[in-house]
């Protein structure tokens, strides 16, 4: 199969999906042909370590990358002598053939002139298996499927073809780069990846449109014996075992992120008692809820209801594995755990209904399925007043955000590390830290701003507020708690989290190495026994009732390790706030949501380095919707932040540090030179 024809066919199909005929689709235009004279002169390696080699062969460009290299993005840069003009077209394209022994993730990035930190490019990625050839199109104005920089097609200054690091040598081939497709193209969206919110949470019954022929699948011997738009009847054979029915959307998924439970209503239309059970499924590996059974068998003719909660009955408990203690071990996310849930309400793929039919074949009419919220339960009386466990505790940090300005003896407005704002999509600015009505507001707004209000820093299209206590307050062990309200605007990424601060003896510069130590750690590094503690981390695409909690160690590069849970479901209080807490004692972490234990991790690797507090509201994240400027400004709201210390765990590193009350941690004496 000729790769170029394959790509043309794929893109023609895409054009048809957009309602474009072949007559409407512009003819392609070759921008770079490896076989043309002088083409090799336009190519350089996308790194300086000598890891990438390339050569033209059979009218294509062969690229090889050495194993175990230092570069994160090995590949090639193609820089035309004059910018390419792709006016009138919608995308640039090439094909990639993997001639190596392991899959590669091939990227194509096309740039306009300008500073790369301003992101003047569009990009795309494709996974290619060994021996496989795949098209790699980049739709102008989009990066990795999401709307981004408005690329100017008449000024393509360069193209970058790259892969990721590998432990084996990689070899791949790319063909010519062409401009093709109609101007104004948008990425194709697979309907099977779309999550729809059912009106009022109603899936079956009431006003819900329901097609049993397309939405009910019998499994394991179950049979659908009757159905209409308002109900269906299923017969489970005697000793049913794994017999069940799956109720699913016609296509795609349901987005049930606004809810915390699914109620299934039924009637026993058979001659024998039946005890139904319900479980909810979502996209992902083992991404299911708990199984919920009727309390007792339902008699013939009787009706019943099962409530399947998203909140797991047993809190998440992380593993304690020897590999967690290997400081130079490979990158690993430790998914091993007990309890908790992997269910994702925003990607619900179906509702499974089964039945215990041991006493004979059973028949069940399912008359209603609806997602909703449970009655709100009162919060424990200790919340906000003390830690959740007994002990001799002392309140060591408190900010109720009274008055009309932030307390700069407690908080920095500017981050000491530029990469804390993840890709510079949003810049920190003092004007976006707002204190009013007894609340702290970290506000994201559409406004060009220099990061940290520093004219020497890059400019972002969005501004937000930062608050952290680096250099002003730290504590090792204790109980941290915040009452907070997360924004509902799309693309919000919020967090209440901790990072190490080993103190001035590690240098005023947080990136300066320690002195007088057998091992050299950065002041705020998660190496050694430093740790990132994510008490609350939320992406708005998950909805208002779920956030994650997690722990990261051994830095963020080749030895990075982590554990945690993305299924932290909770019910906000009547004002929309959730109270999040973390109990940290030697070798143990317990996470609380609304006073309920949501997860714990007991392991010798639990951090023991003093930590500072970070309050965050930025845009993006690893799972997100497109940002909607019309819904800005967007506020992350904190009612209070409080920390307690148990007296037998208190140490000299705890508490406030002398500072001048400036917007960032003050300069400190330079660490003595290492001897």
Sequential DSSP letters for 222-255: -EEEEE-SS-EEEEEPTT-TT-EEEE--SSSEE-
Which residues is 161 bridged to in the sheet? 76, 108
pLDDT higher than threshold 60 for residue 674: no
pLDDT higher than threshold 60 for residue 39: yes
Task: Place 662 in a pLDDT band, splitting at 50, 70 and 90.
Answer: very high
Mean pLDDT, the chain, whole residue set: 89
pLDDT higher than threshold 90 for residue 424: no
Q: Tell me, yes or no, if the two domains 195-372 and 400-656 fold the same way.
A: yes
Whether residue 328 contacts residue 347, with contact meaning beta carbons closer than 8 Å, is answered with no
Tell me the average pLDDT across 522-541: 93
pLDDT higher than threshold 80 for residue 411: yes
| Residue 504 φ then ψ, to 5° | -65, -25
pLDDT higher than threshold 50 for residue 491: yes
CATH number at 3-188: 2.60.120.430
pLDDT higher than threshold 90 for residue 92: yes
Parse the chain into domains and list their residue ranges: 3-188, 195-372, 400-656
Which residues is 533 bridged to in the sheet? 498, 551
Share of the chain above pLDDT 90, in %: 73
pLDDT of amino acid 356: 80
Sequence-separated (6 or more) residues with CB below 8 Å from residue 606: 531, 551, 584, 586, 587, 588, 589
Three-state secondary structure string covering 69-83: CCCCCCEEEECCCCC
pLDDT of amino acid 672: 42
- Give the residue, 272 or 399, on which the prediction is more confident: 399
pLDDT higher than threshold 90 for residue 85: yes
pLDDT of amino acid 45: 94
pLDDT of amino acid 558: 78
pLDDT higher than threshold 60 for residue 240: no
pLDDT of amino acid 625: 82
| CA atoms lying within 13 Å on the CB side of residue 45 | 15
pLDDT of amino acid 509: 65
Range among 80-89, 445-454, 617-626 with highest mean pLDDT value: 80-89
Task: Place 74 in a pLDDT band, splitting at 50, 70 and 90.
Answer: very high
What secondary structure does DSSP assign to 204-219, as a single string? Answer: ESTT----HHHHEEEE
In the block, tokens 């755990």 appear at: 337
Whether residue 144 contacts residue 122, with contact meaning beta carbons closer than 8 Å, is answered with no
pLDDT higher than threshold 50 for residue 518: no
Question: How many other C-beta atoms can be found within 10 angstroms of the C-beta atom of residue 576?
Answer: 12
Task: Place 457 in a pLDDT band, splitting at 50, 70 and 90.
Answer: confident
Three-state secondary structure string covering 375-429: CCCCCCCCCCCCCCCCCCEEEEEEECCCCCCCCCCCCECCCCCHHHHCCCCEEEC
pLDDT of amino acid 667: 54
Distance (Å, rounded) from C-alpha 311 to C-alpha 598?
Answer: 9
pLDDT of amino acid 10: 44
CATH number at 400-656: 2.60.120.200
pLDDT higher than threshold 50 for residue 64: yes
Tell me the average pLDDT across 303-317: 97
pLDDT higher than threshold 50 for residue 22: no
* 591-609 residue pLDDT tens: 999 999 999 999 999 999 9
Tell me the average pLDDT across 185-193: 87
What tokens does 199 get? 């009106």
The C-alpha R_g of the chain, in whole angstroms, comes to 28
- Give the residue, 314 or 361, on which the prediction is more confident: 314
- Give the residue, 1 or 474, on which the prediction is more confident: 474
Ranking 95-99, 242-246, 354-358, 416-420 by mean pLDDT, the lowest is 416-420
pLDDT higher than threshold 70 for residue 12: no
| Residue 166 φ then ψ, to 5° | -150, 150
Task: Place 461 in a pLDDT band, splitting at 50, 70 and 90.
Answer: confident
Whether residue 91 contacts residue 181, with contact meaning beta carbons closer than 8 Å, is answered with yes
Q: Is this structure's pTM higher than 0.85?
A: no
Q: Which CATH number fits domain 195-372: 3.20.20.150, 3.40.50.720, 2.60.120.260, 3.40.50.920?
A: 2.60.120.260
Whether residue 390 contacts residue 382, with contact meaning beta carbons closer than 8 Å, is answered with no
Max Cα-Cα span within the chain:
87
Ranking 47-56, 90-99, 390-399, 412-421 by mean pLDDT, the lowest is 412-421
pLDDT higher than threshold 70 for residue 117: no
Distance (Å, rounded) from C-alpha 298 to C-alpha 366?
Answer: 13
Task: Place 562 in a pLDDT band, splitting at 50, 70 and 90.
Answer: very high
pLDDT of amino acid 119: 67
What tokens does 438 get? 């007894």
First to last CA, the chain: 65
Distance (Å, rounded) from C-alpha 250 to C-alpha 327?
Answer: 48
Closest by CA to 288, choosing from 354, 342, 339, 252, is 342
């Amino acid at each position: 199969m000729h790769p170029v024809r394959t790509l043309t066919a794929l893109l023609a199909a895409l054009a048809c999906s957009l309602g474009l005929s072949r007559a409407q689709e512009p003819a392609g235009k070759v921008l770079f042909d490896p076989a043309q004279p002088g083409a090799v002169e336009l190519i350089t390696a996308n790194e300086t370590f000598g890891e990438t080699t390339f050569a033209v062969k059979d009218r294509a460009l062969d690229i090889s990358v050495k194993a175990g290299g230092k570069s994160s993005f090995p590949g090639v840069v193609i820089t035309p002598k004059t910018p390419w003009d792709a006016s009138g077209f919608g995308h640039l394209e090439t094909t990639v053939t993997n001639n190596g022994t392991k899959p590669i993730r091939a990227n194509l990035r096309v740039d306009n002139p300008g500073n790369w930190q301003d992101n003047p490019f569009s990009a795309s990625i494709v996974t290619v298996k060994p021996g496989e050839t795949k098209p790699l199109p980049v739709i102008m104005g989009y990066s990795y499927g999401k709307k981004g920089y408005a690329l100017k097609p008449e000024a393509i200054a360069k193209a970058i073809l790259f892969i990721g690091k590998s432990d084996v040598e990689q070899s791949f081939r790319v063909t010519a780069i062409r401009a093709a497709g109609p101007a104004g193209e948008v990425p194709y969206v697979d309907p099977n990846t779309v999550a729809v919110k059912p009106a009022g949470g109603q899936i079956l019954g009431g006003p819900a449109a329901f097609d049993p022929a397309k939405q009910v699948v019998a499994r394991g011997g179950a049979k659908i014996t009757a159905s209409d738009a308002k109900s269906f009847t299923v017969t489970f054979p005697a000793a049913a075992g794994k017999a069940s029915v799956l109720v699913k959307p016609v296509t795609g998924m349901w987005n049930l992120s606004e809810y915390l439970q699914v109620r299934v209503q039924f009637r026993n239309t058979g001659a024998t008692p039946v005890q139904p059970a319900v479980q909810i499924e979502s996209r992902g590996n083992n991404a299911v809820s708990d199984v919920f059974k009727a309390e007792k068998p339902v008699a013939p003719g009787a009706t019943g209801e099962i409530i399947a909660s998203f909140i797991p009955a047993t809190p998440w408990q992380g593993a304690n594995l020897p590999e967690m203690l290997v400081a130079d071990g490979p990158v690993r996310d430790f998914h091993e755990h007990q309890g908790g849930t992997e269910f994702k309400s925003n990607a619900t793929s179906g509702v499974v209904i089964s039945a215990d039919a041991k006493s004979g074949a059973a028949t069940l009419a399912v008359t209603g399925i609806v997602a909703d919220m449970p009655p709100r339960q009162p919060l424990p009386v200790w919340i906000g007043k003390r830690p959740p466990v007994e002990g001799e505790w002392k309140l060591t940090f408190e900010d109720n955000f009274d008055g009309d300005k932030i307390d700069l003896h407690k908080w920095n407005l500017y981050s000491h590390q530029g990469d804390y704002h993840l890709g510079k999509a949003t810049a920190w600015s003092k004007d976006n830290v707002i204190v009013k009505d007894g609340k702290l507001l970290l506000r994201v707004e559409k406004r060009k701003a220099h990061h940290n209000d520093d004219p020497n820093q890059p400019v972002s299209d969005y501004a937000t507020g930062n608050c952290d206590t680096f250099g002003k307050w730290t504590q090792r062990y204790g109980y941290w708690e915040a009452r907070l309200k997360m924004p509902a605007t799309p693309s919000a990424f919020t967090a209440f989290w901790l990072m190490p601060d080993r103190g001035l003896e590690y240098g005023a510069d947080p990136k300066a190495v320690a002195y007088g130590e057998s091992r050299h750690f950065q002041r705020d590094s998660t190496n050694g026994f430093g740790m990132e503690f994510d008490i609350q981390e939320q992406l708005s695409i998950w909805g208002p009732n779920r956030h994650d909690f997690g722990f990261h160690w051994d830095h963020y590069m080749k030895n990075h390790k982590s554990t945690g849970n993305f299924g932290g479901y909770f019910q906000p209080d009547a004002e929309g706030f959730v109270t999040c807490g973390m109990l940290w004692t030697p070798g143990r972490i317990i996470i609380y949501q609304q006073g309920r234990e949501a997860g714990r991790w007991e392991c010798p690797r639990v951090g023991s380095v003093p930590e500072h507090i970070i309050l965050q509201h930025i845009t993006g994240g690893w799972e997100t919707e497109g940002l909607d400027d019309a819904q800005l400004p967007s506020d992350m709201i904190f009612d209070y932040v409080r920390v307690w210390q148990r007296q037998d765990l208190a140490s000299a590193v705890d508490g406030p540090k002398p500072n001048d009350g400036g917007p960032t941690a003050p300069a400190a004496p330079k660490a003595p030179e290492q001897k």
